[in-house]
């Protein structure tokens, strides 16, 4: 018998390994689907009885305690968890038709609601289409059933609009966000900022696909709450300049990349460029694998100025001439400043041949400004 070569063995291992992983994925997906169906049914049962006063005060807690006694070691059915199941049903019941009658005693746990979406026509899927996704009712339900109950609770708790919820379900599904990443995206209000960046990508990028990818990649506003002026040792806020912000970003580059988007790799800061004896130094330089392009970020502490686009355009031209690889797409530039008039930026930026956009950022100091003071909170609690 001829002995198998190492290449044959490796191919066999890969084939079997992929089959195992696909089977495990299908099994996990099936379990999640059954769990969501169960929680939806329990949520409906509890909602119908608690909201219509069939149960008295504290009934849910007593039910939870009794379940723990009769099923020792049962997890996930505390009073709080059961109320979340009720919330899950009440928030989605209007769009996901339950598979069985209302009585839990008749509830078939083998059933699911995978085919029960109401008509979703009229929902604006612009942000999904910008990422080359063509959602259908079946696609959306598949995504809905593929993310965990914990993810669903995060989404329905922190977003109320249907379109917004579907957006976060889709993003969680395609990007494999864990609970903490989803929380970060909800906190930064990704839905209202992704795809809204003033830019000239459509006119300057070499394909409409690349342009749509870039439009979906960048946001018009970034929450850089890891930039803490007090921790940076700046006594006078007037002394805060681009270098201070740059230092904070470099020291927290992992956080910045997670905030900035997916598939970014940090190349360097104050990256040295030289052309015809002239030296230039873009503040931050990244590489994006999905866009296959270098991304230069220019930091500005104050409001947007037209001259920033000219400066950034010069950096991009040199990057394309001296740094860009032949297989890479043209370099992209982003001006990141504190304030910007979108209409004005949109008008000016169309006059440039390099792909660019202008976004604003907020720091921890900006967030504190809009929060009530400790004294105001105390007064509100006393009222």
165 is a domain residue? yes
Shared-domain flag, residues 354 and 287: yes
Shared-domain flag, residues 163 and 244: no
pLDDT of residue 137: 61
| Both structure tokens of 62 | 């007593």
Q: Over the stretch 163-218, which tens digit does the pLDDT of each residue have?
A: 888 888 988 888 788 888 888 888 877 787 777 889 999 899 988 888 888 888 88
Q: Over the stretch 89-132, which tens digit does the pLDDT of each residue have?
A: 988 877 655 444 343 333 333 334 333 444 344 444 444 444 44
Shared-domain flag, residues 342 and 199: yes
CATH of the domain at 217: 3.40.1350.10
Q: What is the mean pLDDT of the chain?
A: 77
Position 369 pLDDT exceeds 60? no
Q: Return the minimum-mean-pLDDT range out of 55-59, 242-246, 358-362.
A: 242-246
Distance CA 102, CA 41 (A): 8
| Both structure tokens of 277 | 């004896």
**Sequence-distant contacts of 159-164: CB under 8 A, at least 24 apart:** 159/186, 159/191, 162/95, 162/123, 163/123, 163/124, 164/191, 164/192
Shared-domain flag, residues 34 and 162: no
pLDDT of residue 115: 35
pLDDT of residue 201: 92
Shared-domain flag, residues 43 and 17: yes
pLDDT of residue 155: 94
- Residue 117 has phi, psi (to 5 degrees) of -100, 135
Domain total of the chain: 3
Report the 10 Å Cβ neighbour count for 34.
Answer: 15
199 is a domain residue? yes
Distance CA 43, CA 90 (A): 8
Structural domain range at position 183: 125-189
3-state SS assignment for residue 360: strand
Confidence of residue 149 (pLDDT cuts 50, 70, 90): very high
The domain boundary, picked from 157, 189, 221, lies at 189
Shared-domain flag, residues 236 and 323: yes
């Amino acid at each position: 018998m001829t002995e198998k070569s190492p290449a044959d063995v490796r191919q066999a291992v890969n084939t079997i390994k992929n089959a195992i992983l696909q089977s495990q994925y299908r099994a996990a997906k099936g379990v999640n689907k059954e769990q969501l169906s169960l929680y939806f049914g329990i949520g409906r049962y509890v909602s119908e009885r608690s909201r219509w006063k069939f149960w008295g005060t504290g009934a849910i807690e007593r039910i939870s305690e009794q379940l723990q006694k009769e099923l020792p070691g049962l997890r996930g059915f505390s009073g709080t968890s059961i109320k979340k199941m009720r919330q899950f049903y009440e928030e989605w019941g209007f769009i996901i038709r339950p598979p069985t009658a209302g009585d839990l005693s008749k509830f078939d746990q083998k059933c699911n609601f995978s085919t029960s979406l109401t008509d979703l026509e009229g929902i604006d899927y612009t942000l999904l289409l910008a990422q080359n996704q063509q959602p259908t009712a079946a696609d959306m339900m598949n995504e809905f059933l593929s993310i965990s109950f914990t993810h669903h609770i995060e989404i329905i708790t922190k977003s109320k609009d249907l379109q917004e919820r579907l957006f976060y379900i889709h993003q969680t599904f395609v990007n494999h966000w864990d609970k903490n990443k989803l929380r970060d995206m909800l906190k930064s209000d990704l839905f209202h900022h992704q795809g809204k960046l003033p830019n000239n990508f459509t006119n300057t990028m070499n394909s409409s696909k690349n342009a749509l990818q870039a439009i979906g990649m960048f946001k018009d506003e970034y929450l850089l709450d890891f930039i803490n002026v007090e921790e940076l040792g700046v006594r006078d806020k007037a002394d805060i300049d681009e270098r201070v912000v740059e230092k904070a970003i470099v020291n927290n580059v992992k956080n910045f990349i997670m905030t900035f988007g997916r598939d970014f790799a940090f190349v360097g800061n104050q990256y040295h460029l030289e052309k015809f004896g002239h030296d230039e130094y873009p503040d931050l330089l990244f590489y994006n694998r999905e866009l296959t392009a270098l991304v230069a970020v220019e930091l500005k502490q104050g409001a947007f100025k037209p001259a920033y686009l000219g400066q950034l355009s010069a950096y991009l031209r040199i990057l394309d001439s001296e740094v860009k690889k032949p297989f890479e797409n043209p370099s992209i530039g982003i001006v990141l400043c504190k304030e910007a008039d979108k209409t004005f930026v949109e008008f000016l930026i169309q006059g440039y041949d390099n792909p660019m956009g202008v976004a604003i950022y907020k720091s921890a100091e900006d967030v504190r400004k809009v929060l009530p003071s400790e004294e105001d909170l105390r007064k509100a609690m006393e009222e």
